[in-house]
Structure 1
Amino acid sequence: MTEFFMPMMPPTTTHQQKKVTVRNGKPAFYEPEDLKAARAKLTAHLAKHVPDKPIDGSLRLFVKWLFKRSGKHLNGSYKTTKPDLDNSNKLLQDCMTDLGFWKDDSLIVSLITEKFWADTPGIYIKIEEV
C-alpha cells in the first residue's frame, strides 16, 4: 500500500481542456499553457512519492481533492462546484502513469474519489493492490 498527502492548491484546470487546431488541413490537439502548468505542478508534487517499481497488478485508487475553504463552506463539506471530479482525476492518473506508479492506468479496477472544501488544501492519495 502507498499512501500520501500533497499539501498544495489543487489545480482547477482539467484534462478536458485540451484544444484542437487545424494544421495543413488536419486536426492537431495541443495543451494550452494553463493545462501544461497544471500537469507540471501535479508531476512535481507526485515525483516525491513514486514507488521503487511500478505496480503491475490490479489496484484500488483512493483520491481526495481538498480545495481551499472560503466563505460559507465548512471544513470537510463536499465541494459541488467545478472542476468536474472525473476530469481532474484523469489528469492526475495520466501524470501518475507517466511517472511510473503503475504499468498502465487500466490496472485501476476500483476508483474512489471525492472533493471537499478544506482548511488545508491538497490531494490525498492511497493506492492498494487488490
Structure 2
Amino acid sequence: MTEFFMPMKKVPTVTHQTKQVTVRNGKPVFYEPADLQAARSKLMAHLGQHVPESKYTGPVRLYTKWLFPMTKTSKNGQYKHTRPDTDNLQKLLKDCMSDCGYWKDDALVVSEIVEKFWADLPGIYIKIEEV
C-alpha cells in the first residue's frame, strides 16, 4: 500500500483535455499549452517524492481526495460540487503517476474512489491498494 498527502496552496485544476492542436507542414501536431505544462510539472514534482520502491504490476484501487482552498461561502470538509470534473482531474494525475513509475500502466487501476472537498489545508490525498 502507498499512502500520502501532497499539500498545495493551489491545487492544479487544468485538465488533460486542454491539449491543443496546430498544423505544421500540413500535418496536425498536438501540444500542451503553458498552463497544462505547469500543472503537469507541479504534479510530477510532488508525486516524485512518493514513488513506491517497486512499480505496481497487478490490479490496484486508487483513492484520491482533491482538497481545494476554502472560499468565503464554503465550509471545511464540505463536498465541492463545482468544476472541474473529477474524471478530468484524474486523467492528468494518473498520467503523471505513470510517468513517475507508480505502476506499469494506469490500466492497472481497476477501482477508483475520487472525491472533491473544500479544505483549510488544500492539496491531494492519494492511497493505492493492491486488490
TM-score, normalisation: structure 1: 0.98
Letter in 1 for 2:5: F
Provide the rounded CA distance (Å) in 2 between the counterparts of 1:21 and 1:85: 28
Partner of 2:73: 72
Paired residues in the alignment total 130
Letter in 1 for 2:44: T
Provide the rounded CA distance (Å) in 2 between the counterparts of 1:11 and 1:100: 20
Letter in 1 for 2:112: L
1:12 CA drift (Å):
1.1
Runs (4 or more) in structure 1 with deviation over 4 Å come to: none
Provide the rounded CA distance (Å) in 1 between the counterparts of 2:47 and 2:20: 25
Q: How does 1:114-129 map to 2 (within 5 A)?
A: 114-129=115-130
1:25 CA drift (Å):
1.4
Provide the rounded CA distance (Å) in 2 between the counterparts of 1:107 and 1:121: 28
Percent of residue pairs bearing the same amino acid type: 67
Secondary structure of 2:78 counterpart: coil
Provide the rounded CA distance (Å) in 2 between the counterparts of 1:128 and 1:115: 20
1:78 CA drift (Å):
1.0
Q: Over aligned residues, Cα RMSD in angstroms?
A: 0.6
Partner of 1:5: 5
1:10 CA drift (Å):
1.0
Provide the rounded CA distance (Å) in 2 between the counterparts of 1:56 and 1:95: 17
Unpaired segments ≥5 residues, structure 1: none
Deviations 1:72-107 (A, max 9, x none): 111111111111211111000000000000000000
Secondary structure of 2:45 counterpart: helix
Letter in 2 for 1:47: G
Provide the rounded CA distance (Å) in 1 between the counterparts of 2:24 and 2:112: 37
Partner of 1:107: 108
Q: How does 1:90-101 map to 2 (within 5 A)?
A: 90-101=91-102
Partner of 2:31: 30
Letter in 2 for 1:51: P
Secondary structure of 1:56 counterpart: coil
Provide the rounded CA distance (Å) in 1 between the counterparts of 2:108 and 2:13: 26
Provide the rounded CA distance (Å) in 1 between the counterparts of 2:70 and 2:120: 6
TM-score, normalisation: structure 2: 0.97
Provide the rounded CA distance (Å) in 2 between the counterparts of 1:122 and 1:3: 14
